[in-house]
Amino acid sequence: MYRDEYERWLAADLEDVDLKMELRSIKDDDAAIKERFAVALKFGTAGLRGTLGAGTNRMNIWVVRQATQGVADWVKTQGGTQTVAISYDSRLKGWTFARDAAGVLAANGIHVRIYDELMPVPALSFATRYYHCNAGIMITASHNPAQYNGYKAYGPDGCQMTDDAAAVVYDSIQKTDVLTGAKYMSFAEGVEKGLIRFVGEDCKQGLYDAIEARQIRPGAAKGSGLKLVYSPLNGTGLVPVTHVLNDIGIDDITIVPEQEYPNGYFTTCPYPNPEIFEALEKGLELAKKTGADLMLATDPDADRVGIAMKCADGTYELVTGNEMGVLLLDYICAGRIEKGTMPKNPVAVKSIVSTPLANLVAKHYGVELRETLTGFKWIGDQIAKLEADGEVDRFIFGFEESYGYLAGPYVRDKDAVIASMLICEMAAYYRSIGSSIKQRLEEIYAQYGRYLNKVDSYSFPGLSGMDKMAGIMENLRKNPPKEFAGKKVTKVTDYEKPEETGLPKANVLIYALDDGSTIVIRPSGTEPKIKTYFTTKGRDLAEAEAEKDKLAEAVKPLLA
Residues acting as catalytic residues: 142
C-alpha triplet 182, 185, 190: angle, nearest 5°: 130
Q: CB-side exposure of 101: number of CA atoms within 13 Å?
A: 33
Is the separation of the CB atoms in 89 and 235 below 8 Å?
yes
Q: Exposed, middle or buried: residue 479 (CB in 10 Å: 0-12, 13-18, 19+)?
A: exposed
Alpha carbons 403 and 321: distance in angstroms, whole number: 4
What are the start-end ranges of the H helices in 76-161? 94-107, 121-130
Alpha carbons 316 and 286: distance in angstroms, whole number: 11
CB contact set of 163 (below 8 Å; sequence gap of 6+): 45, 504
Give the DSSP per-residue string, 237-271.
Answer: -HHHHHHHHHHTT---EEE-GGGSS--TT-TT-SS
Alpha carbons 299 and 355: distance in angstroms, whole number: 22
Alpha carbons 246 and 252: distance in angstroms, whole number: 9
Alpha carbons 81 and 103: distance in angstroms, whole number: 18
Alpha carbons 150 and 287: distance in angstroms, whole number: 32
Is the separation of the CB atoms in 225 and 252 below 8 Å?
yes
Alpha carbons 133 and 80: distance in angstroms, whole number: 8
What are the two backbone dihedrals, phi and then psi, of residue 332, each rounded to the nearest 5 degrees? -65, -45
* CA dihedral sign, ordered 424, 429, 432, 434: negative
